[in-house]
Structure 1
Amino acid sequence: MSRRSRNDKYEPINWHEIFQRIDSDEDGFILRSELKQYLLRTPVSEVPLSDDMVDSMLYHVDYNNDGFINLQEFYGLVNVPVDAKTRSVVQRTLVATAFSIAPRSQVSHGDRHYIAEYSCCPPPLLIPLLCTAEVGVFVYYAVTMGDVGPYSPVPWSSPLIYNPHRRLELWRFISYMFLHAGYVHLLSNVIVALFVGIPLEMVHHWWRLLILYVAGVLAGSLAASMFDPQSYLVGASGGCYALIAAHLANIILNWAEMPFNWVRLLVLVTLMTTDIAVFAYMTINETTTRVSYVAHLAGFVVGLLLGMVTLRNLREHRWEIILKWLGLAVFLCLIIAAIVIQVVFPDVVGLYPPMPARQPFQNLMAENTSEIIV
């Protein structure tokens, strides 16, 4: 063996270059779970690294326990405090991995950042619990009123319903979400909430989803009370549409980190277009409907604006920060304006007095010929 080849053999390894090769999307981070798979499936000796050993080493060097390995932590992995033979295997495996990874044009783990955030620990409980509560309230009124059907029962006298005559009972602006006008209405809201809410909760956690859901419900009742001031209101459609819009906010914030981003956007645009088309058809043909499209729209707008503020942004850019604060400002302006109209200028939109005179509930219903909207 020549002197030159021997020097080449023992030439120091440029670990920064190795890190950059493995960091195929050049964001300065390598997914810990992905690096583990690299180490396990790139054997360089007859005795491969074990699963437990790799887990232990990566946990040891991931100092902030964020699930990613940065350059400093990578240097720690290269010099991991184990026996010399194991350390040599780790180093050789990292080198082999770096030169076996396809270029970024062919594969990039950046698109898997969002998937890595999915977690069932703790399990998503908020959305299932809300849906269970809505089903339980529906069953209670179906039993007590002795009626169940596609569009019944409607518990007009319930303390939970949004009653335009009793606007001083402020809880009604939110509690109406637990009531539904028939099992068709209930099932549609429950299915939508489970379908769009659980994936969000697994990434963004329950308290963010609770803020969005309740804000959408509140926005729906405030908007319906102003644009259809004589109607009663039941249903969680405002909250459901807030969750749908939150998916759009999520796509905006985490576009680069999210797989199938165009597919997700296309599905959301299809849902929005369908609802807008139905609303336009109903308006043009002056068709009477029990659906409050304005509550749907209000919930959607709030979900989009507030979603950009409350949802997690996995990789924050300057324009996203500006968009977030702009969304929060618009949301606060809309909510404050709606509350001011409710309190100071109720006559402008034709609202009833905030509390009725002392008279039987049946008399109030006889005076109010408007149908319930959902």
Structure 2
Amino acid sequence: MPRRRNQDDKYQPINWHDIFQRIDSDGDGFILKSELKQFLLQTPVSKVPLSDDMVDSMLYHVDYNNDGYINLQEFYGLVNVPVDAGTQSVVRRALVAAAFSVAPRSQVSHGDRHYIAEYSCCPPPLLIPILCAAEVGVFVYYGLNLGNIGPYTPVPWQSPLIYNPKRRMEAWRFISYMFLHAGYVHLLSNVMVALFVGIPLEMVHRWWRLLILYVAGVIAGSLAASMFDPHSYLVGASGGCYALIAAHLANVIINWAEMPFNWVRLLVLGTLMATDVSVFAYMNITGTTTKVSYVAHLAGFIAGLLLGTVTLRNLQEHRWEIVLKWILLAVFLILIIAAITIQIAFPDLVDLYPPMPEKTFEELKASNMSSDI
């Protein structure tokens, strides 16, 4: 119940849990220590104000884990801090004044604490390192067997993992091509992006969500590349990497208020994607030939953006976000189903090879290969 002062300057019993909840305006269970300090110093509740050193000392002794935030247990310690009765009375009055006026901490700082608290190394992020290790292992295997490891070699043309447009009935190739790379430059670029982008996401959103996004980006990349570049072979994990990059954008969107440096993240992601789209547009306008499958990049990014809003954890879900999530999921499923239908039933629409296994390796050697670097 609210605390009130009676005529002989005494206080009625106070519900300190209620006071804490009033100060903790967004209900995440933490009060920013520095802002609570400012409120205690600035609130005119006594003729003898608290000194800066006195407040620092009290907050230092109750912030047991020294994380800069006061939780409920530490708040109770502040209420009962061992000081003289006069000082304790001033502290308590200031806390009540804080509860019934302005919250001493902004929504942004609450959000930062809420999101950062979700980072966890228990269990450790293993999915992305395992995927990267598998890609490196496959590259080394083919490099040793073909006897040619270079910046743009080897290209394992006969591998059962490569996406072969003439072997579209072997459906695993739409995923397995991600383990192959055209040289160590291609491999390192994908591994570095996956580690840099994927591990922070995995620490907050857990491995199985990242696996869904990564595989969805890989599948979307191969489906799109097969339709827009129907006679080319495909290697590389860039569809999955771009899905992770887009997942960061989806993460910023659905956790905007909780995301530290949200505008910076949005600017970086927007610049990265605008650069890739601009290069792709320039290549098409000028007719420049390239081995890089920008279509796979774009498809992976779109898949990550659409599916990221559905699979990633939304720390504070609003009604409009729930509606948006189902709309984007429907759009993703429609695009995937349409692409698969074209692959199987209407290959002539995009000039695909018939979905039959090829007979000779000579036909494969005469064709081009795309690398979704």
Asked whether the two chains share a fold, i.e. TM above 0.5, the reply is: yes
The equivalences for 1:128-207 within 5 A come to: 128-207=129-208
Q: How far has the Cα of 1:349 moved from its partner?
A: 1.2
Contact 1:111 1:257 survives alignment (8 Å) = yes
Match of 2:27 in 1: 28
Residue pair 1:174, 1:217 contacting (<8 A) in 2 also:
yes
Point out the more displaced range, 323-332 or 96-105: 96-105
Match of 1:371 in 2: 369
Q: Which moved more, 1:164-173 or 1:204-213?
A: 164-173
- How far apart are residue 22 of structure 1 and its match? 3.1
Shift in alpha-carbon separation, 1:192–1:337, aligned structure 2, 3 A: same
Which residue does the alignment assign to 2:360?
360
Instruction: Kindly provide the amino acid, as one letter, of the partner of residue 141 in structure 1.
Output: Y
Paired residue total: 340
CA displacement, residues 4-42 of structure 1 (integer Å, 9 cap, x when unaligned): 88843333225366224531xx2233239x68xx89x96
Kindly indicate whether the alpha-carbon contact (under 8 Å) linking 2:128 and 2:199 is maintained by their aligned counterparts in 1.
Answer: yes
- CA distance in 2 between counterparts of 1:94 and 1:331 reads 55
Q: Percent identity over the alignment?
A: 70
Structure 1-normalised TM-score? 0.81
In the alignment, the residues of structure 2 paired with residue 167 and residue 297 of structure 1 have an alpha-carbon distance, to the nearest angstrom, of 21
Deviation at residue 317 of structure 1 after TM alignment: 0.5
Q: Which residue of 2 aligns with 1:60?
A: none
Within 5 A, what are the aligned runs for 1:260-339? 260-339=261-340
Q: Secondary structure at the match of 2:167?
A: coil
Q: Is the 8 A contact 1:245 1:300 kept in 2?
A: yes
Bigger shift: residues 338-347 or 86-95:
86-95
Confirm or deny: 8 A CA contact 2:6 2:12 kept in the other structure. no
After TM superposition, the runs of 4+ consecutive aligned structure 1 residues lying more than 6 A away are: 90-102
Q: CA deviation at 1:255?
A: 0.4
C-alpha distance in structure 1 between counterparts of 2:201 and 2:265, whole Å? 13
Query: Per the alignment, in what secondary structure is the counterpart of residue 200 of structure 2?
Result: helix
**The 10-residue stretch of structure 1 (13-22 or 348-357) with the greater mean CA deviation from structure 2:** 13-22
The answer on whether the counterparts of 2:169 and 2:357 sit within 8 Å (CA) in structure 1 is: no
How far, CA to CA, are the matches of 2:107 and 2:115 in structure 1? 19
Q: Matches of 1:149 and 1:79 in 2, distance apart? A: 61
- Deviation per CA, 1:192-240: give whole Å up to 9, x if none: 1111111111110000000000000000011111111111000001000
Conserved in 1, the CA contact under 8 Å of 2:23 and 2:104?
Answer: no
1:49–1:301 distance in 2 versus 1, CA, 3 Å: closer
* Matched residue, 2:215: 214
Question: Given that residues 213 and 242 in structure 1 are in contact (C-alpha distance below 8 angstroms), is that contact kept between their aligned partners in structure 2?
Answer: yes
In structure 2, distance between residues paired with 1:334 and 1:213? 17
Q: Assess, with a 3 A threshold, how the Cα gap between structure 1 residues 141 and 96 changes in structure 2: closer, same or farther.
A: farther
What is the distance in 2 between the residues matched to 1:50 and 1:118? 21
Q: In the alignment, is the contact (CA less than 8 A) between 1:245 and 1:301 conserved in 2? A: yes
2:295 aligns to what SS in structure 1?
helix
Query: Which segments of 5 or more consecutive residues in structure 2 lack a partner in the other structure?
Result: 38-54, 83-87
Gap change, CA 1:148 and 1:18, over 3 Å in 2: same
Residue type of the partner of 1:302? A
Structure 2 equivalent of residue 59 of structure 1: none
1:103-133 per-residue CA deviation (whole Å, 9 max, x = no partner) reads 3459842332111111111111111111111
- Amino acid in structure 1 at the alignment position of 2:129: P
Q: Which amino acid aligns with 1:370?
A: N
Q: How many Å apart are 1:369 and its aligned residue?
A: 3.0
CA RMSD for the aligned pairs? 3.4
- Residue 150 (structure 1) shift: 1.1
Letter in 1 for 2:370: I
The alignment status of 1:227 with 2:222, answered yes or no, reads no
Deviation at 1:99, TM superposition (A): 6.5
Q: Post-superposition shift, 1:48?
A: 4.8
Give the SS at the match of 1:371.
Answer: strand
1:18 and 1:94 in contact (8 A); partners too: no
Closer, same or farther in 2 for the Cα pair 1:48/1:276, shift >3 Å? closer
Q: Which runs of 5+ in 1 are unaligned?
A: 56-67
Which letter does structure 2 place at the counterpart of 1:139? V
Letter in 2 for 1:263: V
2: CA distance between counterparts of 1:135 and 1:250? 28
* Alignment check: 8 A CA contact 2:221 2:297 kept: yes
| Superposition deviation, residue 88 in structure 1 | 3.9
Letter in 1 for 2:322: I
Paired amino acid for 2:326: W
Alpha-carbon contact 2:209-2:311 (below 8 Å) kept:
yes
Distance in structure 2 (CA, Å) of the matches to 1:86 and 1:16 = 13
Inter-partner Cα distance in structure 1 for 2:368 and 2:62 = 72
Aligned-partner Cα distance in 2 for 1:322–1:174 = 30
Write the mapping of 1:104-115 to structure 2, written as runs, cut at 5 A.
104=105, 108-115=109-116
Paired position in structure 2 for 1:347: 348
Find the aligned partners of 1:106 and 1:371 in 2 and give their Cα distance. Answer: 51
Give, in whole Å, the separation in 2 of the partners of 1:210 and 1:278.
28
- Deviation string for 1:273-297 (max 9, x for gaps)? 1111111221121111001111111
Inter-partner Cα distance in structure 1 for 2:107 and 2:296: 45
Aligned partners of 1:42 and 1:97 also within 8 Å: no
